[in-house]
Amino acid sequence: MLSKRNKQLKILKVIHGYPPYYLAGSEIYSFNLCNELSKKCEISIFTRVENDFQNQYEISESYENNIRIIRVNKPNRDYTFRSKYIDKKMEQIFEHYLLEIHPDIVHIGHLSHLTVTIVSVAKKYNIPVIFTLHDYWMMCIRGQLVSENSTLCDGPNLENCIECNKKYFLSTDESRKEIAMWIKKINEINHLIDIFIAPSNFLREKYIEYGIPENKIKYLDYGFDTKLFENNKKKKSSKIRFGFVGRIIPIKGIKILIDAFNEIDHSKSELKIFGTLPKSYAYLKEQCKNKSITFYGGFDYNEIANIFSQIDILIVPSLWYENSPLVIHEAFLSKIPVITSNIGGMSELIQDKKNGLLFEIGNKDDLKDKLELLINNSKLIEQLSSYKTYVRSISQDAEDIMLLYQQIISKEG
């Protein structure tokens, strides 16, 4: 390796989207982490955008907060099964920048819409690779261990994956060949990665079950910019304010939440939904029979504390094995209890009747019962709100990751 311990480390971060163009959990976390790491490291980011007004694979470079950002335009999404994980042109572009930057470590956050061969390119030049897992994409090409009909999958295998991805193929023989090839390739890539970071124990166990060696996957929950939530005062209201904050898509359970809230007394409570309005907004709006349901649209992440100042209870009704939802941690930082589905990393974060309530995944009636329990018991809300749940700061997170970088470099040396 070129860098020594007494020199500034060069880190090449790879992520499938980056603010301000993408603002889901993995992108926001990567933004906060890279900005914190940039205080001690030289950070470059390799990512992609989808701009119909630029040519395919056109490259835009910028410096933002002293971080070099390389954005490759890929407006055409993955039209074939193989293009979901292999892109030779993206591989060539990455290799060019890898050789120019010559990083000490490649730290990957996600490879969707990029190419898994980014890993093999880095290893070709003996550069260590760390991979922070944000979902199940390195074992499930759909990313969420959810089938085409939105049922939970215990884990991938050839037959399940054929059934789940049959829309990409003209014949069963073709699908069997292509999916077997993907399984082989993803196993090869996973084997090349030096260390995985899992932000939840649930995610870690799922990958160990899948076949990742236990000593190659380290549990390390997310860190947060806690300063955003300092001195944030709750706005007053005569009603109990339930809130949904995040992507308004089916797998997030938004329809179940609306159905449950439709049966709630609107004179005592209201539901505030914060998130970019989807194409199906008109349909969702029609489903809102309770007049106390309001959609507020998207927001700047810097306003996240202000969003939480407008709600009393956060609801996270996701229908998949969420990893370690940022929004739940943000609720804790805002001293707000959480009602969430009883699976995955969601249930790992919630201690039932201490810092929130758990309900049976997908069960509208159970969710309704939990809503009514809080509506009719203000003391319980106060009790849940006063429970202190530890949330790591982004500075602590960066320190822990820096130690991991140094350990890997020492081992390589």
Question: Among residues of the chain, what percentage have pLDDT more than 70?
Answer: 98
The answer on pLDDT for 397 being more than 50 is yes
Q: Which amino acid is at 127?
A: I
Q: What is the mean pLDDT of residues 58-69?
A: 96
- Nearest partner of 83 among 131, 141, 151, 134, judged by Cα: 141
Whole-number pLDDT of residue 237: 87
Backbone dihedral region of 274: left (phi > 0), alpha (psi from -120 to 50 degrees) or beta?
Answer: beta
For 301, which DSSP code?
G
Tokens 């820096």 identify what position?
Answer: 402
Name the band, by pLDDT with cuts 50, 70 and 90, for residue 169.
confident
> Each residue of 345-370: b (16+ CB within 10 Å) or e?
bbbbbbeeeebbbbbebbbbebbbeb
Q: What is the mean pLDDT of residues 13-25?
A: 94
List CB contacts of 76: < 8 A, sequence separation 6 or more: 56
Tell me the C-alpha distance between 43 and 40, whole Å.
Answer: 9
The residues of the chain that CATH labels 3.40.50.2000 are: 10-223+393-412, 226-386
CATH number of 10-223+393-412: 3.40.50.2000
For 234, which DSSP code?
P
Beta-strand relationship, 356-359 and 338-341 = parallel
Whole-number pLDDT of residue 5: 47
For the chain, the 3-state helix, strand and coil shares in percent, each to the nearest 5, are 40, 20, 40
Q: Per-residue DSSP letters for 344-372?
A: HHHHHH--BTTTEEEE-TT-HHHHHHHHH
CB 199 within 8 A of CB 324: yes
Name the band, by pLDDT with cuts 50, 70 and 90, for residue 157.
confident
The answer on pLDDT for 4 being more than 50 is no
Whole-number pLDDT of residue 413: 59
Question: Among residues of the chain, what percentage have pLDDT more than 90?
Answer: 85
What pTM does this model have? 0.92
β-sheet with 269-274: strand ranges across: 293-297, 269-274, 240-245, 313-316, 338-341, 356-359
Q: Does residue 20 have a cis peptide bond before it, meaning omega lies within 30 degrees of 0?
A: yes
Mean of pLDDT over the chain:
93
Q: Which two tokens stand for residue 330?
A: 């943000």
Tokens 């390739």 identify what position?
Answer: 185
Name the band, by pLDDT with cuts 50, 70 and 90, for residue 6.
very low
Name the band, by pLDDT with cuts 50, 70 and 90, for residue 3.
very low
- Nearest partner of 31 among 222, 247, 309, judged by Cα: 222
Question: Which 3 state secondary structure label does DSSP give 219?
Answer: strand
CATH number of 226-386: 3.40.50.2000
The answer on pLDDT for 180 being more than 70 is yes
The answer on pLDDT for 78 being more than 70 is no
Is the dihedral angle over the CA atoms 126, 132, 135, 136 positive or is it negative?
Answer: positive
Q: How many residues are present in the chain? A: 413
The answer on pLDDT for 154 being more than 90 is no
pLDDT digits (tens, 9 = 90+) for 184-234: 999 999 999 999 999 999 999 999 999 999 999 999 999 999 998 988 788
pLDDT digits (tens, 9 = 90+) for 300-331: 898 999 999 999 999 999 999 999 999 999 99
List CB contacts of 388: < 8 A, sequence separation 6 or more: none
pLDDT digits (tens, 9 = 90+) for 105-149: 999 999 999 999 999 999 999 999 999 999 999 999 999 999 887
